[in-house]
Structure 1
Amino acid sequence: MSDLNKLGLAEARDALRKGDTTSVELTEACLKAIDAADALNAFVHKTPEIAMERAKAADERIKAGEAPSMCGLPIGIKDLFCTKGVPSQAASKILEGFKPEYESTVSQKLADAGSVMLGKLNMDEFAMGSSNETSVYGDAVSPWRRGNDDAQLTPGGSSGGSASAVAADLCLAATGTDTGGSIRQPAAFTGTVGIKPTYGRCSRWGIVAFASSLDQAGPMTKSVRDAAIMLEAMCGHDPKDSTSAELAVPDFEAMLTGDIRGKKIGIPKEYRMDGMPGEIGKLWSDGAEMLKAAGAEIVDISLTHTKYALPAYYVIAPAEASSNLARYDGVRYGRRAKLEAGDGITEMYEKTRAEGFGHEVQRRVMVGTYVLSAGFYDAYYNRARKVRTLIKKDFEDVFAAGVDAILTPATPSAAFGLGEMTEADPVQMYLNDVFTVTVNLAGLPGIAVPAGLDKQGLPLGLQLIGKPWEEGDLLNTAYALENAAGFVAKPQQWW
């Protein structure tokens, strides 16, 4: 078989079971593609030795006839996941040289399922960003181009390396994390599928924390079926994470019937934003028509507190980040600044953190520290938490009224060029999360599905939001949407 790296998880799994190929051959094809794609800057720590060792072990398991779904499938791991003996820097200078002595629960589950780790993927520093431009490794680059324009585009963020690698067929799938849209926005920008499961469905243990009440891991894949296969391997109760849910993990792939007759799909009026490009509006209404044609009932709904979601998110997330990032002080691990004679512990903290954190991380730590400080705690942080409760209740009311899923755009635009959103106005960048942050604030599952191209030939995605713990049902609705949209476009190779 040629072009093995272009296969999805389901196709590759079936080829492995039939004996049409081996995990070693699949892995070699991906490693070759990775080495030829340095221009994308997607893989930042390559692990070919680990990959080949795991591929050989997977082939043995498959021969013995006791292989789970992910066995032998080569994937990339976002640099936010701690991987034993492999640099795990969260794309930050402050974690330079850090090689954990342990494995994150999610990457361990994937390894136990027989998957093959090809290496670590680029991302925004500490997952703070929407364009993968805050990374210590430099920008990740999208494999997509606008028409005949050579301008480099963002693959989205913070899971930009994951999105770029999956879209460019450097790996069959990748892990991502989503705190305010960091799986769904890059998936929409690159024509791939990304699902953020319900908060608590995947363990957060061993994943470098950004905002602990919002962070969730999830898969980034080439199709909805692949997302179902990989999500099942990643989920499950973990006693090491107090927020991990003690719930059985269903067979998500078995739930993909494509039958959504009688399902109620809500269209929230508050997501019709001023200045939203016509192409996004048209894609949204086309998506609703596709679901209607598949037998679903389309209903208008109201999520009244949506307009407060971004401000609430940008109080809560930085507050939790400032608390989580206090541990990076140069004392126990990672980078320590060079000190001069007479410098004490305070100077060590100050110099280490000033050198180690990039501008965006510094900005969010300062905002977070401010909103948690005496005199401002009630005015900002507590008020944002109350707004979060109201946003969650909006969704609960809609689902209680019989709505099964909610359809929205995934992003307010197609991918933009690297450097086009200036650091002078960070709020412009934050607006990229406008359709996605509500899902994190409410702890719900959300999935981005590629649904069309804009006039410049760039992918556009739609988002489906589901009921808590109903990922199987959500994936099935997404499967129906994917089948109706028939998105098959791939970027033309220029790298």
Structure 2
Amino acid sequence: MTNLTELGVKEIRDGVAGGDFTAKEVAEAFNAAVAAAADLNAFIVTTPDHAIAAAEKTDAARAAGETLGKMAGVPIGMKDLFATHGVQTTAASHILEGFKPQYESTVSQNLWDAGAGMLGKLNLDQFAMGSSNETSYFGNVNSPWRKEGSNAAMSPGGSSGGSSSAVSARIAPAATGTDTGGSIRQPAAFTGICGIKPTYGRCSRWGVVAFASSLDQAGPMARSVEDCAIMLEAMAGFDPKDSTSLQMDVPDWEAGLSADLKGKKVGIPREYRMDGTDEEILKSWEQGKEWLRDAGAEIVDISLPHTKYALPAYYIIAPAEASSNLARYDGVRYGLRDLPEGAGLQDMYAATREEGFGDEVKRRVLIGTYVLSAGFYDAYYNQAQKVRALVARDFENAWAECDVILAPTTPTASFPLGSLSEDPLTMYLNDVFAVPASLAGLPAMSVPAMTNSDGLPLGLQLVGKPFDEQGVLNAGLAIEQRAGFTAQPEKWW
């Protein structure tokens, strides 16, 4: 039999539907792969029983001649930011350790309804705050990739590092991620997989632990553009429980996939040629232009003049929203409670947060509280919101000249774990190409392009018009077909 863990979402779904193998055989193969890959530290909790139960349900439905769902027979990893009924949900933080929700997030429920099963809850940067997966209370996630000639542990990106590591290492065919300022795209680029952040509002935020509510958006991470299209269809949809949910039909993105870009214009933002960007990243960008030209697209230069202000605006807005969202973790109703002897209510709040939150979370809460304080609200938060509006307007103006934008996903390839942890500003710069699309709420995708001289993957980013996930996926497919990226990490775990 084929090595089932080498198969992606479409191959598994179609193979199960066609009777080539059973969903239970697939679940057992991936459960075994997850159990054997503990050194990656990609999972916080494994749920082999959930994967088997969903598989048996799919096999029974097929035997009964019932119509199977879009993700039938596909076991996936669930980022531990999505509430899962009866299964620990921690956001990788000590403050939520042991918390088992009595409800299911809308996105995860949509996936189960489509026939997917759960392999377990994936590790991440604590409360999705980080770009390297080093801020989790449950330990760093290791990338399955290594530099050629080195055994140094590499970053899988963040915050969805458990997701990217699991998919890249072939211990999950796909995984959910969330993207606030690049947390799907950057880890996808670091590990040689695909990941798409849809238009803000496409996927419900209900039941997803909040970081920055006006930015957070769920999306799929998988090994191919087509697999991302299939999974995004299953995840997306209107949800009355989320006030920002888009009341729009979900298109059939899988059926609409086409790598023919004749008549399309691809914009190249001149402001994205930034100092400090790795030369090999710039080379991959040039190659990406040639691939899209070969697919029939016209390459045009565009300007996004407020790009240089996007990152500082993001690091005001996101922490401000985080400081508000994380105020609910106080030790009163759920999660950790640290109550020193003789302590009053304020002492309990302080002790619980001191014990429960990691350093990066505390840093961002402090920044957010500062920029929202009486003397600085206008100087920082209001100014950042104005900049956000200007960044969004830049994109609106660009759509008059192009249909999709091509840019690097990250300024560098993956870096060794620990190499940037003492330098938060350099770490934040990892998101410099990803943040503008997040601020504007646009669909954006990372697709693997090539490996660099160290043998590490490099990704290219595509940004589309609001609601035009199809355009982004199609341009991604054009790159994927021409790049022919087949590199895999050498197994060391």
Q: TM-score, normalised by structure 1?
A: 0.99
Q: What are the superposed Cα offsets for residues 401-433 of structure 1, whole Å, 9 maximum, x if unpaired?
A: 14110000000111000001132x210100000
Greater displacement, 468-477 / 370-379: 468-477
CA distance in 2, matches of 1:62, 1:443: 39
Shift of 1:231: 0.2
Q: Does structure 1 conserve the Cα–Cα contact (< 8 Å) formed by 2:83 and 2:208?
A: yes
Shift of 1:452: 0.3
Q: Does structure 1 conserve the Cα–Cα contact (< 8 Å) formed by 2:276 and 2:411?
A: no
Q: Which amino acid aligns with 1:300?
A: D
CA distance in 2, matches of 1:175, 1:380: 33
Shift of 1:92: 0.2
CA distance in 2, matches of 1:204, 1:65: 31
Q: Show the counterpart of 1:219.
A: 220
Q: Does structure 2 conserve the Cα–Cα contact (< 8 Å) formed by 1:62 and 1:71?
A: no
Q: What are the superposed Cα offsets for residues 128-186 of structure 1, whole Å, 9 maximum, x if unpaired?
A: 00000000110000000100210000100000000000000111100000000000000
Whether 2:471 is the aligned partner of 1:473: answer yes
Q: Which amino acid aligns with 1:126?
A: F
Q: Show the counterpart of 1:433.
A: 431
| 1:283-294 aligned within 5 A | 283-294=284-295
CA distance in 2, matches of 1:3, 1:462: 29
| 1:112-131 aligned within 5 A | 112-131=113-132
Q: Show the counterpart of 2:369.
A: 369
CA distance in 1, matches of 2:267, 2:2: 43
Greater displacement, 375-384 / 50-59: 50-59
Q: Which amino acid aligns with 1:490?
A: Q
Q: Which amino acid aligns with 1:327?
A: R
Q: TM-score, normalised by structure 2?
A: 0.99
CA distance in 1, matches of 2:70, 2:244: 27
Q: Which amino acid aligns with 1:370?
A: Y
Q: Show the counterpart of 1:50.
A: 50
Q: Show the counterpart of 1:25.
A: 25
CA distance in 2, matches of 1:186, 1:474: 18
Whether 2:229 is the aligned partner of 1:231: answer no
Greater displacement, 51-60 / 313-322: 51-60
Q: Which amino acid aligns with 2:204?
A: S
Q: Show the counterpart of 2:61.
A: 61
CA distance in 1, matches of 2:122, 2:210: 17
Q: Show the counterpart of 1:325.
A: 326
CA distance in 2, matches of 1:449, 1:304: 25
CA distance in 1, matches of 2:24, 2:69: 17
Shift of 1:262: 1.2
Shift of 1:45: 0.4
Q: Show the counterpart of 2:211.
A: 210
Q: Does structure 2 conserve the Cα–Cα contact (< 8 Å) formed by 1:126 and 1:361?
A: yes
CA distance in 2, matches of 1:2, 1:116: 20
| 1:79-478 aligned within 5 A | 79-340=80-341, 342-399=342-399, 401-423=400-422, 425-478=423-476
CA distance in 2, matches of 1:76, 1:187: 15
CA distance in 2, matches of 1:62, 1:121: 29
Q: Show the counterpart of 2:11.
A: 11
CA distance in 1, matches of 2:312, 2:401: 29
Q: Show the counterpart of 2:485.
A: 487
- 3-state SS of paired residue (2:20): coil
- 3-state SS of paired residue (1:21): coil
- 3-state SS of paired residue (2:461): strand
CA distance in 1, matches of 2:210, 2:35: 30
CA distance in 1, matches of 2:267, 2:224: 23
CA distance in 2, matches of 1:410, 1:50: 34
Q: What are the superposed Cα offsets for residues 185-241 of structure 1, whole Å, 9 maximum, x if unpaired?
A: 000000000000000000000000000000000000000000000000000000000
Q: Which amino acid aligns with 2:57?
A: A
Q: What are the superposed Cα offsets for residues 4-61 of structure 1, whole Å, 9 maximum, x if unpaired?
A: 0110001111111210111100000000000110000001100111111111001112
CA distance in 2, matches of 1:123, 1:275: 27
CA distance in 2, matches of 1:213, 1:53: 36
CA distance in 1, matches of 2:382, 2:401: 31
- 3-state SS of paired residue (2:137): coil
Q: Does structure 2 conserve the Cα–Cα contact (< 8 Å) formed by 1:40 and 1:142?
A: yes
- 3-state SS of paired residue (1:255): coil
Q: Aligned residue pairs: how many?
A: 492
Q: Does structure 1 conserve the Cα–Cα contact (< 8 Å) formed by 2:302 and 2:401?
A: no
Q: Does structure 1 conserve the Cα–Cα contact (< 8 Å) formed by 2:69 and 2:113?
A: no
CA distance in 1, matches of 2:117, 2:190: 26
CA distance in 2, matches of 1:271, 1:86: 42
CA distance in 2, matches of 1:249, 1:256: 14
- 3-state SS of paired residue (1:257): coil
Across the aligned residues of Structure 1 and Structure 2, the Cα RMSD in angstroms comes to 0.7
Shift of 1:65: 3.4
Q: Which amino acid aligns with 2:181?
A: G
Q: What are the superposed Cα offsets for residues 58-90 of structure 1, whole Å, 9 maximum, x if unpaired?
A: 111223231022011010000000000000000
CA distance in 2, matches of 1:28, 1:171: 12
Q: Does structure 2 conserve the Cα–Cα contact (< 8 Å) formed by 1:262 and 1:296?
A: yes
Shift of 1:477: 1.1
- 3-state SS of paired residue (1:253): coil
Greater displacement, 12-21 / 166-175: 12-21
CA distance in 1, matches of 2:228, 2:470: 11
CA distance in 2, matches of 1:325, 1:274: 35
CA distance in 2, matches of 1:407, 1:219: 20
Greater displacement, 217-226 / 47-56: 47-56
- 3-state SS of paired residue (1:484): helix
CA distance in 2, matches of 1:119, 1:379: 44
- 3-state SS of paired residue (1:304): coil
Structure 1: any 5+ residue segments left out of the alignment?
none
Q: Which runs of 4+ in 1 moved over 3 A?
A: none
CA distance in 1, matches of 2:55, 2:15: 15
CA distance in 1, matches of 2:14, 2:50: 23
Using the aligned pairs only, state the percent identity.
64
Q: Does structure 2 conserve the Cα–Cα contact (< 8 Å) formed by 1:255 and 1:473?
A: no
Shift of 1:335: 0.3
Shift of 1:338: 3.6
Q: Which amino acid aligns with 2:460?
A: L
Greater displacement, 40-49 / 56-65: 56-65
- 3-state SS of paired residue (1:266): strand
- 3-state SS of paired residue (1:403): coil
- 3-state SS of paired residue (1:254): coil
Q: Which amino acid aligns with 1:433?
A: D
CA distance in 2, matches of 1:102, 1:14: 31
CA distance in 2, matches of 1:145, 1:78: 23
Greater displacement, 295-304 / 14-23: 14-23
Structure 2: any 5+ residue segments left out of the alignment?
none
CA distance in 2, matches of 1:278, 1:50: 45
